[in-house]
Chains A and B, each alone.
Chain A
Amino acid sequence: MAAPDELFCWEGDWGLPSVSTDCLVVLVRVRSASLRRKKSSKTSHALLLPMVSPGSLPALRTNQNETLSRPSDIIIHLRKQKFNADFDLSAKEGADSLAFISLLEEKLMPALIYTFWVEPKNFVEVTRRWYAEHMMFPLNFFLPGRMQSRQLEKLRLLRGDEHLEAGEELEKELYRDAAECMNLLSQRLGSHKFFFGDSPSSLDAYVFGHLAPILKCKLPNGKLQQHLKSLDNLSDFCSNILLLYFPRDGREPSAQKAPAAPEAGDFDNVPNKRRKQFLSALFALGAMLSYALLTGMVSIQHGHQEALEEPPDPEHIGAHEEEGDG
């Protein structure tokens, strides 16, 4: 086979390999299938690539230099490359998979979108801050906001209500649907390790991708997390998958993988901070200078350096006297 395909995902945090649901789904599929085939797969955590817009991660760049962006397209492509986790499933189990995936997307995903992107406290304190910290300057100023409006529009279209806004009523409804969905998943999982048999299938990947962020991320408004933690078999299911396929991330919550792309996690924060400090110092200096020039405290006359020293003295004294009076 030619050069491996490259998968670009959002980074991870809070003990997860990635913070985005779609990325997690694809990662689990790739990991479980490649472990089975004992083949290595190349995954890069990219903060920002010029050709891949950040709203559309995960993205797979194939060896034909084509970029696929929808999780379902990526999974179909992987399946063609024989990265298939589902050939052990019977036809009925395949049908059940499809049904439960639909259940997840209809009942749980809206609540996920709400809790991470629409609920005001959660968005401001956690989501926006995280994405802003993990993006390059100057995109971190407006991109999280743009992602939020896209997610809000998606939620509005999903619910069929153009004027949906964050609020208690909506929250109650969405969380109730999500709780019901989690209960149903818990009932279906029972005491098994995975949903079908002894190895994960695509349904396991989807369930993990949706539940893991809820389980691991500490949000100010954490009602979903409370409910999920009360369902032991689902929490164990998530921890199990983490341990099996992402042992490094599971053990150290703040560890970052060092990817091929040079824009790796923590390292960027330091130069960015320094750059910001330098820029703000420069700006402050420039502001003071221009104020001084404008008010005439400092005047520049070409070729006469003494002029810079003498006239300011009486003017300065004059200024001080005025300040003393005023």
Chain B
Amino acid sequence: MFVLSVGKIPFIHVGNQVVSELGPIVQFTKAKGHSLSDSLDDVQRAEMKAYMELVYNMLLTSELFVQWCDDATAGEISRPRYSSPYSWPLGNILAYQKQWEVRRKMNAIGWGGKTLEQVYEDVNQCCQALSQRLGTQPYFFNKQATELDALVFGHLFTILTTRLTSTELAERVKSYSNLLSFCRRIEQTYFEDKKLMKD
């Protein structure tokens, strides 16, 4: 079954409405009366939003960088994967176009001149910040999961389980034991019928 969306995933389909991307989905569910962050006070909500932006800014950008701006990874993994649904030569063209787009974006935000090492260092810093914030708590705020927990889980899980040419990115994340146990805990709590992560 093919579902036409506005081109952005994730999306949810409720009745005859389609809402895509995390931010709008959160707003939508909030409007329907389900919100994860109601119990937070103003300062905590400010911090939560800020940490979410940190994840978008650093983790997401680093993931894109490693996938598309590192020639080895792009050539061996990202381009073939991106072009696989299409036949030759359309797949190749689209894959190169995507790579070019991502590189342009990196240049625009000032990441164009970065080396892979610097990006790994940025990921390290970001994970360190998240690890500091998490500390020994089960979730980032209170004893309850919020949108931030969902976002962090999504990204860290992706980094830990996506196959890349080098495992350095995953190793950096794994070096923070509380983040690793956080991911496992979320997986066990919410996805217990499916084993998502291999040990």
Contact = CB atoms under 8 A, between A and B. Distances in A.
Nearest to B49: A184
B126 A103 contact: no
Contacts of A96: 47, 50, 129, 133
Interface string B26-70: 000000000000000011011101110110111000000000000
Contacts of A103: 49-50, 53-54
A158 B109 contact: yes
Contact of A95 (B105, B109, B130): B130
A157 interface: yes
Nearest to B58: A102
Contacts of B105: 157
A99 B129 contact: yes
Contact of B125 (A98, A105, A106, A153): A98
A70 interface: yes
B26 to A, nearest CB: 13
A106 B46 contact: no
B108 A99 contact: no
A157 B53 CA distance: 17
Contact of A92 (B58, B109, B133): B133
Interface residues of A, number: 25
Interface stretch (A185-193, A287-295, A308-316): A185-193
Given A91-B132, A188-B47, A102 B54 contact: yes
Interface in A277-315: none
A184 B50 contact: yes
B43 A190 contact: yes
Contact of A188 (B43, B53, B109, B110): B43
Nearest to A188: B46
A92 B131 CA distance: 9
The interface centre, meaning the residue of B50, B57, B132 with most chain A CB atoms within 10 A of its CB, is B50
A154 B109 CA distance: 7
A14 interface: no
A72 interface: yes
Interface in A132-158: 153-154, 157-158
Contacts of A98: 54, 58, 125-126, 129
B104 interface: yes
B108 A107 contact: no
B51 A99 contact: yes
A157 B50 contact: no
A130 interface: no
Contacts of A102: 50, 53-54, 56-58
A54 interface: no
A99 B54 contact: yes
A228 B46 CA distance: 17
Contacts of A153: 108
A72 B126 CA distance: 15
Contacts of B83: none
Interface string B114-144: 0000000000011011101100000000000
A185 B46 contact: yes
A92 B132 CA distance: 6
B76 to A, nearest CB: 26
The interface centre, meaning the residue of B43, B47, B109, B130 with most chain A CB atoms within 10 A of its CB, is B47
Contacts of B130: 95
B53 A107 contact: yes
Contact of A106 (B53, B128, B133): B53
Nearest to B51: A99
A194 interface: no
Contact of A187 (B42, B110, B132): B42
A96 B104 CA distance: 29
Contacts of B43: 187-188, 190
A106 B42 contact: no
A94 interface: yes
26 contacts: A92-B132, A94-B132, A95-B128, A95-B129, A95-B132, A96-B47, A96-B50, A98-B54, A98-B58, A98-B129, A99-B53, A102-B50, A102-B54, A102-B56, A103-B49, A103-B50, A103-B53, A105-B53, A107-B53, A153-B108, A154-B108, A157-B108, A158-B108, A158-B109, A184-B46, A187-B43
Given A95-B133, A102-B57, A187-B45, 20 more contacts: A70-B110, A70-B113, A94-B129, A99-B50, A99-B53, A100-B50, A102-B53, A102-B54, A103-B54, A106-B53, A106-B56, A106-B57, A107-B53, A154-B109, A157-B105, A158-B109, A184-B45, A185-B46, A188-B47, A190-B43
